[in-house]
Amino acid sequence: MVVVERSRKPPIPVEVVDLRNLARLAMSRSDVQPLFWSFEYKGRIVLGHLSSIPYWRGNLPIFAYTFIDEEPGSYVAYTALDREEAFFTNSTDDTRYLYGPIMKTAEEPELLVKALSRRRVLREKPVAVKARDIGSLVRVLMMMSDNTVSPPILHCRRPGEKHILGLIAPFFDYYEANALPVFFYLESSEPPPAPFIKYYAGEGREEILYAEYVSDMRYFYGRIVTVKSIPFFSRRPTSRAPS
């Protein structure tokens, strides 16, 4: 019964600024089609993606979403190769794009609506570690990436504050915890100039650039996703780990 009740807890909502950022977040893998949810909420159309990350004693479900101004098609089409595009379509025959099917619900999904309306606050935050520079952040990202998957770098700016770039790295089997979540972050007075970080380490040098899209396969590309807020981060002291 306890397991059932826990499974009914709403996910943590993360509002993404637009469709392109949502597609960049959800559609990083060519071997997996992400499912998008679409429904009406308070007279507006929501498009979102449900996922989870290892977090303390279990997994943390996250509903990343954005509001859209049009009725979506059957799929989200996306590419970041030689250009970045994200749009709605009803066909999947153009092999230049990745496709994510859209589930249009007849009614508001209870769990997702609870997530949007209640704004659940994370009581157990990750361990926050400030990086010295962008290179340190990208090297953590490299460690967490392989040929099929790479986590995003989240970007956010709160009013009157600096820009935050950060990502969560789970360290598994930490004492009794399933995973110790560590939020590595960087503060900047300027926003990132482009949505991808282009990285190369070889020939005796380390090179870090920004790019509008993926073009040169000699480089590793990290995705930057701009969100309205980062629920994993707070400048207040980090909460105690679950006992």
DSSP one-letter string for 157-191: E-TTS-EEEEEEEEEEEETTEEEEEEEEEEEESS-
What is the domain range of residue 188? Answer: 127-226
User: Do 97 and 7 reside in the same domain of the chain?
Assistant: yes
Structure tokens at 50: 């449900």
Q: Are residues 60 and 143 in the same domain?
A: no
In a domain, residue 238? The reply is: no
Q: Which residue has the tokens 């986590």?
A: 151
What are the phi and psi torsion angles at 235 (to 5°)? -80, -10
In terms of domains, do 107 and 8 share one?
A: yes
Residue 228 per-residue DSSP state: S
Minimal CA–CA distance to 98: which of 43, 29, 198, 158?
A: 29
Are 140 and 108 found together in one domain? no
Whether residue 111 is found in the same domain as residue 72: yes
Q: What is the pLDDT along the chain (243 residues), one digit of tens a residue?
A: 444 445 678 999 999 999 999 999 999 887 889 999 999 999 999 999 999 999 999 899 999 999 999 999 999 999 999 999 999 999 999 999 999 999 999 999 999 999 999 766 778 899 999 999 999 999 999 999 987 788 999 999 877 789 999 999 999 999 999 999 999 999 999 999 999 999 999 999 999 999 999 999 999 999 999 999 998 887 654 445 555
Rg (alpha carbons) of the chain, rounded to whole number:
18
Number of domains making up the chain = 2
| Residue 140, helix vs strand vs coil | helix
Nearest to 35 by CA among 44, 20, 22, 45: 22
